[in-house]
Amino acid sequence: SSLPWYRRLARGGAIAVGGLGLLLSVALHEPIQIQPMLLSIAGPATTERPMPIRRVDPTSRLRGWRLLAAEVDRARAELRARGLEPVLATERWTQAAELRFYCVGHPPVHCLGVMLGDRDSQYDLWRPNPIADEADYRGRTFLLAGMELDRLEYAFDAYEPRRIVSYHENGQLIAEWTIVVAHGFRGFGEKKGIKPD
């Protein structure tokens, strides 16, 4: 007599797990559909936390890269029209990978993260790069995306005004980056903290 009870429990458990799996699959593949629920959990945007959705939606970090790449491509085209071929650089290796993938022509993108306290990455090993091979880049114009510029002021002669790239979904700010053109690369000098060859 316990067999029918056990089968009902097993069937109910299988249906519940299947339904939960389906819900999670939809949430991961179509997060915009559940944004209202996530926003109610995350709370309202504040000055200190302008993108609260990022606290509860890990997939938000996967979106907006096409927009950023399009803005970087636009800035590259403007610089080329002025006779400059910029060096592309980001703060994090993940940003460098996304821009390399989404920018037109898949241009080289360097990661300066180790200069800003980020961990080492494969970008530090690929040569030439602006950290290990400063002389190859000295005097060049850089297009910096997603950088903490106050920590790099000493490395360039001049900066053009910052451009803010904001990615929204359903009226909510999901991601934001800064793009800056920096002229006259000076190098990192003693601040680079890497061992000489």
Do 173 and 63 meet the contact criterion of CB atoms below 8 Å apart? no
Q: What is the DSSP string of 140-164?
A: --EEEES--GGGTGGGEEEEPPPEE
d(CA 179, CA 195): 30
Which parts of the chain have pLDDT scores under 70? 1-3, 26-44, 50-56, 190-197
Over residues 92-143, the pLDDT tens digits come to 998 999 999 999 999 999 999 888 778 888 888 889 999 889 999 999 999 9
Sorted by sequence, the CB contacts under 8 Å of residue 49 that are 6+ apart come out as: 55
Q: What is the pTM of this model?
A: 0.74
The pLDDT, as a whole number, for residue 132 is: 87
The pLDDT, as a whole number, for residue 197 is: 36
**CA-based nearest residue to 75, from 62, 87, 91:** 87
The pLDDT, as a whole number, for residue 161 is: 94
The pLDDT, as a whole number, for residue 194 is: 40
